[in-house]
Amino acid sequence: MNKIASTQELSQELRKLLAYTETTKPSREKLAADLRALADRVAGVDKTAMLPGYEVMYRLVGGREKLDRLWSYLEEVDGQTQDLAVEVCAKLAEKLRGADNNVVEAIDRIADSTRVLKGWDGRMHRNNIFKAANALGIKLPSGTF
């Protein structure tokens, strides 16, 4: 993390953000993420030990590409819904910001089970779900797995 040390440096970073908003079709998601990162740099907050909320959210929905496709589709059919979807995702990412590695492991394991569903037998799902529970500190029914 490189902290913003002067008002000149802050002005330069803000000008970059403003220039980005004037490009064709700037992404609200990117702008929001850049603003949060800038705020952290101004405050001197080191977020390197935390997983950014958007990364956690992408894991939940199956990747950034799926969200991009959703937003593109909504832009074509209903701009107001698209605006709200972007706002909801930004708020969700804010809530998920700083999830620790155990939370991320549990999310990945649940996502794996939903992705392969019938491709695994019951024992594979059981093992995976038990590992997710263990990562979250949930008492396991059988004690071990």
* Helices 53-61 and 101-116, axial angle in degrees (round to 10): 20
Q: Quick one: pLDDT at residue 37? A: 79
Query: Is residue 142 domain-resident?
Result: no
**What pLDDT does 110 receive?**
84
Structural element, H or E, at residue 108: helix 101-116
Report the candidate in 30, 43, 31 with the shortest Cα–Cα distance to residue 2: 43
Residues 92 and 118 both lie in one domain:
no
Q: Are residues 37 and 57 in the same domain?
A: no
Cα separations in angstroms, 113 against 22, 110, 123, 130, 140: 43, 5, 11, 12, 18
pLDDT beneath 50: ranges in the chain: 47-50, 145
pLDDT reported for residue 48: 45
Domain that holds residue 73: 50-99
The pLDDT, as a whole number, for residue 64 is: 79
Query: How many domains are there within the chain?
Result: 3
pTM above the 0.85 mark?
no
Q: Is 139 exposed, middle or buried (0-12, 13-18, 19+ CB in 10 A)?
A: exposed
**Whether 44 and 3 share a structural domain:** yes
